[in-house]
Amino acid sequence: MQDHTVLLVEDDPIMGESLLQRLQLEHYQVEWAHNLAEAREALQERLYPLVLSDIRLPDGDGESLLATMVRRYGGCCPPAIFMTGFGSVDQAVHLVRQGAWDYIQKPFDVDALMRRLHDWLPTPCASPDAWFGASPVSQALESLIARIATMDLPVLLQGETGTGKEVVAQRIHTLMLEQQGKTIPFVAINCAAISENLLESELFGHEAGAFTGAGKRHSGVFEQADGGALFLDEVGDMPPNVQVKLLRVLQDGQIRRVGSERAIQVKVRVICATHKPLDKLVDTGAFRQDLYFRLSGIPIHLPPLRERVEDIGWLAHRHVDVLNARLNQTKRLDPQFVTWAKLQTWEGNIRELFATLERAYHFSADCWVRWERAGLPCSNRALGQDPQALPNPEPLDHYLARIERDYLQHCVSQNHGQMMKTANSLGISRKTLWEKLKRYKMEGQNTSNVS
């Protein structure tokens, strides 16, 4: 299970109490150390997924704390974010170069800090059993599924490839199982992966000798799923002749094996999925309207990943946990991976994200899973150019600085030069944004102080 405990190191009682309350409101667990000695003692007891520390402490400084963390974390870049003020930005930058994750300048917008924190450490959901994500959209989906799981109605899941339709179907089955208190089957079949000649047999079964090659009786997926749930994936690819027979089964609750006239009663919760717009297929005559009405008892649309960007960090961190458990590793996700991932289009949605993440995981040379190890460039949204036209190799800090400058320019333009709006969209303070613009000599480029 993902650990969401933050070690807060802050000697100022007002600042510390404010951060403590806000972190707890975001469902993080918090341990508060008031000085360097307490922080070191806490780090002797355990390793934290995130340490949020003031850079100046009564009995030491950020450099001393970072040195302790480097030793405790076995040489890996420790998950430390430093809060800096009093003109100590140079020291904070030095700490980042020494391996700290990041720094944030005081005074800062707490809301902006929380948004950045969600990239550094996955958002803990109010429900520890969340399956789909931490965004409002995903939480609403979780709530809807909990309500409809016990309803005896077909479910139609629609969404692009890779949006998690089978995961939703499995979740519905799990909730059905919990409600009934006994083991019930879950059977899945991809209607697009089976030839038209064999699909009817796979769905409804066949008798021995029903056709050439049918040497013995075969029970179809409807019989196998009797008493449980049947997931018909890519139902939009089902041939017209099979659509007619599926409609009959849904109406009567009976199947007939190929080669048999005997009706067999079945009770199955049918869950269908498709990446095609069935209503448009109905209009063209490719899909039966009466079957469409029957299947869409409870229609659910699964949004693409680009419309639920808030979930990317949650999904990525959770998948790293899965990989760690499977491979007996203790790797951690570099927060820059999440920042990079949020700039991608993810046409393959969650499936593509996980495939990219696994590639980065396996090619990471240390304990950090980094986007550079995925073997992919930034998307053209980040670079402002065709991915095939990548620049010649250059120092990494120059490359990342160029990307940051281009992205800042894009965001300023999108927000019509309004500083506060741009800063909020980036999850940083207006002061931090102004300093970045000054660094890249952009402070006079169509910017205003309109909030």
Phi then psi for residue 420, to 5 deg, are: -65, -45
Distance (Å, whole) CA 331 – CA 313: 15
Tokens of 350: 């969650």
Instruction: Domain ranges for the chain, please list them.
Output: 5-120, 152-303, 311-439
DSSP assigned state of 67: H
pLDDT at residue 103 above 90?
no
Q: Which CATH homologous superfamily contains domain 152-303?
A: P-loop containing nucleotide triphosphate hydrolases (3.40.50.300)
Q: What burial class does residue 389 get, using C-beta atoms within 10 Å of its C-beta: 0-12 exposed, 13-18 middle, 19+ buried?
A: exposed
The answer to whether 376 and 85 have CB atoms below 8 angstroms apart is no
Distance (Å, whole) CA 250 – CA 245: 9
The answer to whether 10 and 16 have CB atoms below 8 angstroms apart is yes
Highest averaged pLDDT of the listed ranges 126-130, 190-194, 433-437? 190-194
The answer to whether 156 and 278 have CB atoms below 8 angstroms apart is yes
Instruction: Give the helix, strand, coil percentages of the chain, each rounded to 5.
Output: 45, 15, 40
Percent residues over pLDDT 70 in the chain: 87
- Longest CA pairwise span in the chain (Å): 86
Q: Which CATH homologous superfamily contains domain 5-120?
A: Response regulator (3.40.50.2300)
Across residues 266-285, what is the average pLDDT? 96
pLDDT of residue 290: 96
**Cβ neighbours of 259 (radius 10 Å):** 15
**Cβ neighbours of 170 (radius 10 Å):** 17
Question: Same topology for domains 5-120 and 152-303, yes or no?
Answer: yes
Q: What burial class does residue 395 get, using C-beta atoms within 10 Å of its C-beta: 0-12 exposed, 13-18 middle, 19+ buried?
A: exposed
Tokens of 283: 């209009």
The answer to whether 277 and 237 have CB atoms below 8 angstroms apart is no
DSSP assigned state of 305: G
Lowest mean pLDDT among 68-72, 86-90, 105-109, 360-364: 86-90
Distance (Å, whole) CA 339 – CA 399: 15
Across residues 118-123, what is the average pLDDT? 74
Distance (Å, whole) CA 133 – CA 411: 26
Condensed to tens digits (0 to 9), the pLDDT of residues 193-244 reads 998 889 999 999 988 877 877 778 889 999 999 999 999 999 999 999 999 9
Distance (Å, whole) CA 104 – CA 89: 9
pLDDT at residue 340 above 90?
no
Distance (Å, whole) CA 401 – CA 38: 37
Distance (Å, whole) CA 135 – CA 138: 5
Condensed to tens digits (0 to 9), the pLDDT of residues 44-57 reads 999 888 999 999 99
Condensed to tens digits (0 to 9), the pLDDT of residues 394-443 reads 566 666 676 777 778 778 877 777 787 787 777 777 777 887 888 777 76
The answer to whether 154 and 294 have CB atoms below 8 angstroms apart is yes
**74 against 158, higher pLDDT:** 158
Across residues 35-41, what is the average pLDDT? 95
Residue-wise DSSP of 236-285: GG--HHHHHHHHHHHHHSEE--BT----EE---EEEEEESS-HHHHHHHT
∠ CA(118), CA(120), CA(123), 5° rounding? 30
φ/ψ region of 133 (left if φ > 0, alpha if ψ in -120 to 50, else beta) reads left
